[in-house]
Amino acid sequence: MDNTIKKILLLATGFGAITKEKIKKLVEELEKKGEISAKEGKKLAEDLIEKSKKQSHNIRETIDEQIKKTIKNMPFATKQDIKNLEKKIEKLSKKK
């Protein structure tokens, strides 16, 4: 198989811009053109799909981390802050 084609496909999966269906379609086209064998195509598709899944997972984790950091730095009350305030209100209510 042409390394340039493989590199392009790997790059596309690295950006998460390629879906499972697109991978299969591209591999089928390479097989039809005779650039890769059916066995190579199956292996390539499996590898690219796995890399795409991992990349998607990594992207989701990164986004989740960034959202948590952003929320943490915003002036919102946390659940614990609210619980603490409720306890204080309860204590003050009992004093009256």
* pTM score: 0.56
| Mean residue pLDDT across the chain | 82
Could you tell me the pLDDT band of residue 81, with boundaries at 50, 70 and 90?
very high
* DSSP H/E element including 44: helix 38-72
CA-based nearest residue to 45, from 91, 10, 4:
10
Residue 56, φ and ψ in degrees, nearest 5: -60, -40
Taking every pair of Cα atoms in the chain, the longest distance, rounded to a whole number of angstroms, is 86
Say what the pLDDT of residue 92 is.
Answer: 93
Domain containing residue 43: 3-95
CA–CA dist 18, 10 (Å, integer): 9
Q: How many domains is the chain partitioned into structurally?
A: 1
- CA 6-7-13 angle, 5° bins: 90
Segment 53-70 shows an average pLDDT of: 85
Could you tell me the pLDDT band of residue 75, with boundaries at 50, 70 and 90?
confident
Say what the pLDDT of residue 90 is.
Answer: 94
